[in-house]
Chains A and B, each alone.
Chain A
Amino acid sequence: MLKDITIGQYFPGNSVVHRLDPRFKIIITGVLIAMLFSADSFIGLGVGVIFLLISFLLSQIPFKLMLKSLKPIVPIILFTSVLNIFFLEGVTIFKLGFLKITVEGLRTSAFMIIRIIALIMGSSLLTYTTSPITLTDAIERLLSPLKKIKLPVHELAMMMTIALRFIPTLIEETDKIMSAQKARGADMESGSLLQRAKALTPILIPLFVSAFRRAEELALAMECRCYQGGDGRTRLRQLHSSGADYFALGLSIVFFDLVLLLNCLMG
């Protein structure tokens, strides 16, 4: 069922990680990504992974949930590892026909797999512990200096908010329209690709019509509540940074420095 789709993967909780200022969380995630990409040895990568594991344990996110977030990238992992294992030149340990496995290949693919998994876990951790709306909020505030160069930061954030607000509504609506057309004998399951694409018309047109109607009504309702763009707006939710936020950021920078240091030592 379409209804089962959830947007974002926020996992409500009250852990230290949940409570961090979202602006800091975004920056720290950035630092983590930099760490993972700059590490050029297993030890360096290990430092990044340790930082990730500490954050993960503190967040109290169930391990199962984390595994779920990795599921969609399994094909990518398989693909990169196959490429690396079989096609990298080096000391051969196994050979079958034109396929050969090399030490270098194994090493590189293990390195890549750890890096990809850590990247996904890191960004999932951000979305698991921060609701989409808080995330939008934080992005708006982080980007607000860009208003000076005429980037419509507020408008973009407003668009994101409205999209998040209306996605469940439109999904429900799609479900309803699909049932209604099925009741009129619409056949969406059989036929050639072209026929199936054509069979979508009775769903897409009503959906667009309705989306436009909603947009129009929403705009009117916003005007009636004195919406006049981003200028002079205040916010109900204030973001406060505390000592914990600076500590967490500091910690991530220390880990990053460690990775860089290891790079120099090993290099």
Chain B
Amino acid sequence: MSVIKTEDLTYTYSIGTPFEKTAVDNVSLEIEEGALVGIIGHTGSGKSTLIQHFNGLVKPTSGKIYIDGEDIWGKDVKIRDVRFKVGLVFQYPEYQIFEETVYKDIAFGPKNMGLPEEEIDRRIKETAELVGLHKDNLYKSPFELSGGQKRRVAIAGVMAMEPKVLILDEPTAGLDPKGRDKILGQIKEYHQQKKSTVLLVSHSMEDVAKFADKILVMNKAKVFCYEDTPDVFKRAEELTQIGLAVPQVTRVFNRLRQSGIDIRTDVYTTEFARKTILEYLAKRGESNA
């Protein structure tokens, strides 16, 4: 069953003013439970507005959103409960930290859910470990931590709510390669442990390529495509046309093909590229033998 489903979702802001703009245009989409999805698109492609619909922070101008089969703007639905089901980590989440200790800050979400103390405690310790925060840090002021650590505290704060769907808006923005790989690894780990659905918004094709099973490409307020990762990279040319940079190796393999080499072009990581080259050589060796 699909955990998120939208029907003709449209969102227009500043209606009736000269600034009127449709940010999400007729989006019908189904995201399967347990999927690990990368969302990619330009600034202004509508991806940020779209994800804010998923947990009810933005109310659609028209169309419907179903979470777990339930219309979230239906009569008997409390929007706060939707937010517990769909956790959203904003860009630069470290700027939302406010408590005296890391422990209390992670507890904020679970507390709002009205969970019992022991359960909250268990979740804090579990998520802190998951995002690699040392136990000693739990009782420190979050403002004493480094930038990367603060970010992980903020992410843990949403993970501890154990939402069915976890959405992260550019969790790696501004981080160096090491910090980026660490956080992406931890998100993947969370996905595997909790078997929950994870949506990751990113500007970086390389990150998404390494990370996601499926990719949703947004362009000009519409869904450009929503497919398995290798299938998306088969469309390198189209992606380049809408101004999205495909990974460097994908471009190289497209060039190889243009030079008359009969080789697959849905290559997007260096490891996969090596495999493809070695396979090609092996196959040619066989046919020559």
Contacts and interface: CB of A to CB of B under 8 A. Distances in A.
Contacts of A209: 95, 98, 143
B23 to A, nearest CB: 14
A84 B8 CA distance: 58
A184 B112 contact: yes
A83 B129 CA distance: 68
B145 to A, nearest CB: 13
A176 B92 CA distance: 10
B120 to A, nearest CB: 13
Interface stretch (A53-61, A71-79, A199-207): A199-207
Contacts of A176: 90, 95
Given A183-B57, A185-B161, A187-B80, A205 B98 contact: yes
Interface in B25-71: 52, 55, 57
B170 to A, nearest CB: 13
A182 interface: yes
A205 B98 CA distance: 6
Interface in B82-123: 83-84, 87-90, 93, 95-98, 108-109, 112-113
A26 to B, nearest CB: 31
Interface residues of B, number: 23
A184 B57 contact: no
B171 interface: no
Do most interface residues of chain B lie in helix, strand or loop, or is the interface mixed? helix
B87 A187 contact: no
A185 B95 contact: no
Nearest to A183: B88
A202 B83 CA distance: 17
B275 to A, nearest CB: 40
A186 B192 CA distance: 28
12 contacts: A179-B52, A180-B88, A180-B93, A183-B83, A183-B87, A184-B112, A184-B161, A185-B109, A186-B108, A202-B96, A209-B95, A210-B95
